[in-house]
Amino acid sequence: MNTCPRGNFRRLIFYEEIKYALKYGYTINIEYCYQLKRGVNLFKEYIEDHYQIKASTSDPVQKATAKLFLNYLYGRFGMKEIDNKMEIVTKEQVDILDKNKNISIISELNNNNYLIRHSSKISDNIKKLY
């Protein structure tokens, strides 16, 4: 149970968030945890089933659906992960980041401090327009 200005709360927190909170001096009481193990051939049966449907059916709708399911899985794992960074910065740093990064969250905290989430660099063409 955590304490904050609005009362106590419980929440499920990913390990990376815990590391980040500890880095900034927060205290966390862990009541329980889950440890997940890396799977082997996690999607093997899924792929084999849909490939079999695609290869053996004469129904064009079933064939197209099986193909979409196979391509969708492949596409999700092939996507580039967007690298977001969240940090507490001063107003001067916000002004610099605003000109060079894609900002998705900005919130004023107190005394010239801002919570900001930003990702990749802005392309030079967009900077020229800006």
Block means of pLDDT (10 residues each) for the chain, 130 residues, are 58 82 82 82 91 94 93 76 80 85 81 83 65
Does the pTM of the predicted model rise above 0.75? Answer: no
126, two tokens: 């967009």
Give the sign of the dihedral formed by CA 13, CA 88, CA 94, CA 108: positive
**94 in Cβ contact with 106 (< 8 Å):** yes
∠ CA 28-30-34, rounded to 5°:
130
Among 44, 11, 36, 42, which residue's Cα sits nearest to residue 26?
11
Among 72, 127, 73, which residue's Cα sits nearest to residue 99?
127
pLDDT of residue 15: 82
